[in-house]
Structure 1
Amino acid sequence: MNTGTIIMIVLLIGLLVWRLRPVKGVRTITTAQLKGELADKNKQFVDVRTPGEFKGNSIKGFKNIPLDQLPNKASTLSKDREVVVICQSGMRSARAAKILKNLGFKNITNVKGGMSAWR
């Protein structure tokens, strides 16, 4: 391998690690912990998967706001209440948490493992 290839690999790995790091100030919970929080009416539960994914399998009490629509529909959520986000694996919900943080939401929780970990 030449030096240019090694530099590119290192940069790609660095970018991947940077993208996967947890968002500062965002709480992370497991699906087991989520089960204990679903009855809390002071929380807003948002599923950021596509409408088709949501229709196929969803958790009662979650509102579907697809990730690509979140910046435009975040105004339907209250910044004064905790927002719990979920997706299929936890990747899109981590991005959703970052979007919400950038929009001024303070109390955000990401469900680790997403629907893939839900039983």
Structure 2
Amino acid sequence: MLFKRIPTVSTKELERRLPEKPTIIDVREPVEFRGGHIPGAKNVPLAKISTFNPKGNVYVICQSGMRSKRAAKQLMKKGHDVVNVRGGMMAWAGAKRGGKL
């Protein structure tokens, strides 16, 4: 477990999986989330990820991929099935909700 790799997907791959309604956790701060997020994503800021207990497989995203990687590590240590989204919202080209600041 010490050196277990975190599974990752590209933003394109996550976009292809959206019809399956995957659980997506956006670990950015609320103001960033309101600035634009993936439809259906739940906002759980990185600072609060330790208290979050998702059910099933979870995709974790942030702005660039660094915070989501940290969040994924924390969730994996708790035994959750986690996939980090490479490139984060900076790489996301799909539909977004929000964006009105």
Percent sequence identity over matched residues? 46
In structure 1, the partner of 2:42 is 63
Q: Does 1:109 align with 2:88?
A: no
Q: Which SS does the other structure have where 1:33 is aligned?
A: helix
Unpaired runs of at least 5, structure 2: 94-101
Distance in 1 between the 2:40 and 2:78 partners?
23
Higher relative contact order (CA 8 A, sep 6+): 2
Query: 4+ runs of 1 displaced by more than 3 Å?
Result: none
In structure 2, the partner of 1:54 is 33
> Of the two, which has the highest radius of gyration?
1
Q: Which SS does the other structure have where 1:110 is aligned?
A: strand
Alignment of 1:1-119 (within 5 A): 24-41=4-21, 43-72=22-51, 74-75=52-53, 77-78=54-55, 81-105=56-80, 107-119=81-93
Unpaired runs of at least 5, structure 1: 1-22
Distance in 1 between the 2:11 and 2:73 partners?
20
Q: Which SS does the other structure have where 1:89 is aligned?
A: coil
Q: Which SS does the other structure have where 1:39 is aligned?
A: helix
Scaled by the length of structure 2, the TM-score of the pair is 0.84
Q: Which SS does the other structure have where 1:38 is aligned?
A: helix
Offset of 1:56 from its aligned partner?
0.5
Distance in 2 between the 1:26 and 1:37 partners?
18
Scaled by the length of structure 1, the TM-score of the pair is 0.72
Task: Decide which structure has greater helix share.
Answer: 1
